[in-house]
Structures are given as C-alpha cells and as structure tokens.
Amino acid sequence: MFGLKPKRHFTREVAITPPTPEQGRHGIAIVSCIKNEATYIEEWVRFHKAVGVRHFHLYDDASTDSTLEVLHRILTTEELTIVPWKMRMRDEASGHFLNGQTLAFAHAILNFGSKYDRMAFIDVDEFLLPRKGRTLQEALRGAGEFPNISLPWHMFGHSGHVSKPEAPVCLSYTMRVSDPMRENLDASNFKCIVDPVEVTRVSVHHFETRSYGDTTVNDAGKKFAKRKRKIAEFYSSEFIQLNHYYAKSRQELTEKVERGWSFDGSAEKYRNKVSETIKYIEENVVEDRRMVEFIEQNGIHLGR
C-alpha cells in the first residue's frame, strides 16, 4: 500500500518435503551460515567436535579472510562440507529480500539431512553446551526421540572487556542476561535441533514436523506449541544450554556493527537492533561459569 514501508524479508518460512532417511544414518551435524569468521571459527569447531558433532555443513557468504583455510586445516573431508552461498536475491514482484539463512537451512535438510539423526542450526557465536553427559548425544536424551527441540538463547554481554581478550571466547565471557525467556527485543529467541527426515517447514528460529506440526520440546522433553515457547514454564537448560556470545568486547561489537548482517539490506535497522539488544543484556546480567567449568573438567583444547 502506498506510504507504507515494505517488509525487509520474504520467505521467512519454507515448506519442504522431508528427505528419505539413508540406511545407517547416524550422528549430529551442525548447519551454519558463515562469512569472514577466521578469528573465531577454530574455537567453535574444536568445541563442537569435542562434544560429538559428526559433520559441519557451512554455507559461506564469499569470505575474503582465511576462514576456509582454517576449516580445511582442522577438519577432514569426512567432517566438512562448504557450500558457496553468496546470495542477494529479491522477489521480483514485491522487491522483498529472500531470507538467505532460511533457504540455506532448507537446502541443508533436503540435500544432506538423510545422513543424520539430528541437525543443529546455529551461528558461529553460539555454542551447544552439554549439561548432562560429556557429549551432545548424551545430553539429547533429555528430549527423547522428539523431532523438534527448541533451545533458548543465553545471551552473553561484554563481561567487562573493552578490547578483544587473548583467551578463547567461551572462556572469556561469563556474564549473561539474567532471564533468557524475557520477551524483549532480540534478546530472547531460540535455535533448534531437529530430526531432519521429519521436517516439513523451515525457518531460522523454528521448524515444523510432519507428525507434530509446530509442537516443539525443550531440552528436558516438555512439549509446547511454538507460540508458547516464551512462557516461563518452557524454560530449561537442564540437559543442554545454548550460549550465545552476542556482544564480545566493546571493540568487537563495534566491528560487528560496521560489518553489518549478511542477509539484511538495512544497515540502520541492524545498528539499532544491536544497540537495543546489548543495552538490555548489560542492564540485566548474572554470572554463568558453566561453560568454563565444562571445558576445564573435560580438558577440551580450543586451539589457542
């Protein structure tokens, strides 16, 4: 309608026909969109390998740094698939952007999902921390066989760092937002682990399955409809905690904002979103050393 701003994104959700499972499918794969992550990606990969991730399907948005060289150095061809994903497309009729992450996730399920019991859809600043057991496979027992698991963000702020610390990210940041379920801006959301051969609808933050529709479970197996995930009763980090190292140091946050978001056409919108989110996090922090303790107890080497 004349005078109204168009929506920034189109295809936020994609309907698919689930892939047919391969005989002997097993293990957990991670799917992520990446761009110029050379500084951080080794730590992220080494941690998730240490907790049992079988394969990394990474959609590369034309990285110009040494991201791909780092990946090829620390992962074998049996552990890594890189898909070129330089995507800037719009719907011709409306001019709306196509959501590159949604389409990448759908592509991953349709082309690779038949090989795995589970696929996790996270970013390079997000870590899947097992709370019960040494591996993600052990921690996933809390959710049982349910095909759609939603994990709330535990958003970490600056933790007092002005410039980039020398220590790894997940050892350096221990102050996070106090209430992961608080409905405030983008400080409260979810990422998902799914059974790929059951998925019928794909989005960045939620999925649907053929047997259960939009019903999802928390890490302890408690079922809720998607629209009720943000109520307090859904919250759990008993078996798996999703740590989102959103801000890092003040220096790194500034660099993040200057880079912008790969799949958003509005730089101003992105700057405002980041500013409001970090303000909310920093005003409502508690100490959380669970990741530090897990790494130390299990002797995980992060590459620095």
Taking only the tens place, the pLDDT of each residue in 21-80 is 999 999 999 999 999 999 999 999 999 999 999 999 999 999 999 999 999 999 999 999
Residue 74 burial (CB count, 10 A): 15
Distance CA 130, CA 53 (A): 12
* Mean pLDDT across 123-148: 97
Residue 201 falls inside a structural domain: yes
Distance CA 188, CA 180 (A): 6
What confidence score (pLDDT) does residue 33 get? 96
What confidence score (pLDDT) does residue 4 get? 38
Quote the distance between the C-alpha of residue 199 and its chain's center: 17
What confidence score (pLDDT) does residue 11 get? 67
Residue 241 half-sphere exposure toward CB, CA atoms < 13 A: 22
Residue 144 falls inside a structural domain: yes
Residue 48 falls inside a structural domain: yes
Residue 303 falls inside a structural domain: no
Average of per-residue pLDDT values in the chain: 91
Residue-number span of the structural domain to which 66 is assigned? 9-297
143's CB contacts (< 8 A; 6+ apart) are: 149, 193, 217, 218, 219, 220, 221, 239
* Mean pLDDT across 126-149: 97
Domain total of the chain: 1
pTM listed for this prediction: 0.93
Angle between helix 267-282 and 250-259 (nearest 10) = 160
Burial group, residue 7, by CB count within 10 angstroms (0-12, 13-18, 19+): exposed
Residue 3 falls inside a structural domain: no
Distance CA 97, CA 45 (A): 30
What confidence score (pLDDT) does residue 5 get? 44
Residue 102 falls inside a structural domain: yes
Residue 65 falls inside a structural domain: yes
**Dihedral over Cα of 204, 130, 149, 195: its sign:** positive
Residue, of 273 and 112, whose pLDDT is higher? 112
pLDDT tens-digit series, residues 252-299: 998 888 776 655 556 777 788 888 888 889 988 999 999 999 999 999
- The answer to whether 261 touches 271, Cβ cutoff 8 Å, is no
Grade residue 136 by pLDDT with cuts at 50, 70 and 90.
Answer: very high
Residue 84 falls inside a structural domain: yes
Residue, of 224 and 256, whose pLDDT is higher? 224
pLDDT tens-digit series, residues 163-184: 999 999 999 999 999 989 876 5
Of the candidates 283, 286, 245, the one whose C-alpha atom is nearest the C-alpha of residue 129 is 245
Residues counted in the chain:
304
Domain of residue 259, CATH code: 3.90.550
